[in-house]
Structure 1
Amino acid sequence: MAMTRESWAFVFGIIGNIISFAVFLSPLPTFYVIFKKKSAEGFQALPYVVALFSAMLWIYYAFVKRESALLLITINTFGIVVESAYIIMFLIYAPKKQRLSTIKLLLLLNVFGFGAMLLSTLYLSKGAKRLAIIGWICLVFNISVFAAPLFVISKVIRSRSVEYMPFFLSFFLTINAVMWFFYGLLLRDYYVALPNTLGFVFGIIQMVVYLIYRNATPVVEAPMKGQELSGGHIIDVVKIGTDPNRAGGGAGSKV
């Protein structure tokens, strides 16, 4: 029996869930370092706060949509739990100044920002119009996050070093974008499909840049210690120990 469009969408959504689960968990090495050092100094909470906000947006969208939204709910529920755990751990080990700035950011974006969006869409719109407004908010926010790899790509080109852009991370994030693109396309949910088109394009660009510069002679620069957003996905760049050639990182992603 031929598979229906909805059946194919379910297959792509399941694969997207599996890859996204792995991507959400990939910052664990970073937080292991924080736990061992008992300090989050030099790290930033912004990527995790943004990832949490994105997961909250997609959960809200999925509950308003209802139809064929189960796979959006499962992965973003997991994302909310994981990102919340990361943020709590960061707050425990962060210096006082960073802790206060993180709390302010959480209140501004995840409490007041999300709350204002929630109340305005609940009371000022309804039905298909409400879903469209929420969908556009999710789409625009995800496009802005997906465009962030430009910073990582420019860093690689300037430094002629690919240590900040692991090939397999870029590869799996690209595959993840492809899965969610087809999931959205088959369900005619263009709020999911369109941002992942951009994610796929930037993923291909990242891999091409990696192949160009993988054997290049690096330009000596000041060590980089921080975090960068990559494609709706988060890449943490962390210098470990005293060896300037060792780096550990991770990524967190949602639809």
Structure 2
Amino acid sequence: MVSSTTLWVIKTLAALASITMICSPAISIYRIHKQKHVGVASVIPLVSLLANSHMWMMYGYLIENWFPIFWVFVYGDVAALAFLAVYWRYTTERRYVAHVLGVVALILIITSIYAIIGGLGYTGQTRSQVGSTLGFICDVVAVCLYGAPMEKLLHVLKYKSAVFINVHMVIAGTTNNCLWFTYGILTHNWFIISPNILFITLGTSTLVLYAVFNPKTHPLPDNFQLHGHTDGDAMSVMSVELTPKASWGGKTGSNLPSPAFEAMQSPLETLPW
């Protein structure tokens, strides 16, 4: 039986780690605000952060886990909406952004309605059963969001250079996953344990790749973009940040991709929880 003190320490550390990951887009958003345009930054990481946070917030509500799960992801919901507001103000592709937001909003609304009426007992399920359903959905969403940037690892293997990996974000994301994994073990919550086993494995594998193909000893060739690589190709090779999930673009005209941020991994990258 774990002591209450130990549990609270882990809960607090996991919450702080998740909040830090949730705030990771802030620098890029501030840059967008200062420059008055989004550049090559994608809206997908922000939408992913919103979807991930909202799902886990609803899960926390249903299982009555107010801290850390519910309140951490309420914060994630608010932060994602604030980031999206800034992005919307300065994007020139509002039709595309509106389409993406519309699809995600529809999914979240349907899920929220189910969670609310299910929690009130109108679906013939107990609150716990509805919570379990939401837990499965949260895990699926988290795995999808976390898996999206994994294609970047193929670029590492292809070009024999880990320049595409943002190692600091990988370390932060893996640490976050370890804390949530520990919390899941202590609370016997397999909806938290299961996805984090995968995330920790992927994070550790990414760090191994970084060590093997360290950019200092395995740099990209100076003529990287000149041999069959268009600017578009270079832009598609973004840094891998395990924590949610699609990359932000780099600066045009640069020979190397510039590190950006990724949306949080479930409470899982962004953790779960």
**1:116 and 2:110 matched:** yes
Which is further off, 234-243 or 100-109?
234-243
Q: CA deviation at 1:230?
A: 4.7
1:183 is matched with which residue? 183
* Seq. identity, %: 17
1:107 is matched with which residue? 102
Q: CA RMSD in A?
A: 2.3
Alpha carbons of structure 1 residues 74 and 229: separation in structure 2 relative to 1, 3 Å: farther
> Quick one: distance in 2 between partners of 1:10 and 1:24?
21
1:200 is matched with which residue? 200
Q: Gaps (5+ residues) in structure 2?
A: 265-269
**1:59 and 2:96 matched:** no
What does 1:19-168 correspond to in 2, within 5 Å? Answer: 19-66=17-64, 68-95=65-92, 98-110=93-105, 112-121=106-115, 122=118, 123-124=122-123, 125-168=125-168
Q: CA deviation at 1:108?
A: 1.4
Q: CA deviation at 1:203?
A: 0.3
The alignment partner of 2:245 has SS state of strand
Q: Gaps (5+ residues) in structure 1?
A: none
Alpha carbons of structure 1 residues 71 and 129: separation in structure 2 relative to 1, 3 Å: same
> Quick one: distance in 2 between partners of 1:22 and 1:85?
16
> Quick one: distance in 2 between partners of 1:229 and 1:49?
17
Q: CA deviation at 1:5?
A: 4.8
CA distances 1:136-195 after superposition (whole Å, capped 9, x unpaired) = 111121122222342121122223332321222111111110000111111111111111
- CA contact under 8 A between 2:163 and 2:219: conserved in structure 1? no
The alignment partner of 1:47 has SS state of helix
- CA contact under 8 A between 1:45 and 1:90: conserved in structure 2? yes
Give the number of the structure whose residues are more often strand, by fraction: 1
The alignment partner of 1:207 has SS state of helix
Which is further off, 133-142 or 115-124?
115-124
Instruction: Give the residue type in structure 2 aligned to 1:186.
Output: L
Which is further off, 214-223 or 127-136?
214-223
Alpha carbons of structure 1 residues 142 and 229: separation in structure 2 relative to 1, 3 Å: farther
TM-score of the two chains, using structure 2 as the length reference = 0.82
Instruction: Give the residue type in structure 1 aligned to 2:99.
Output: K
How many residues align? The count is: 249
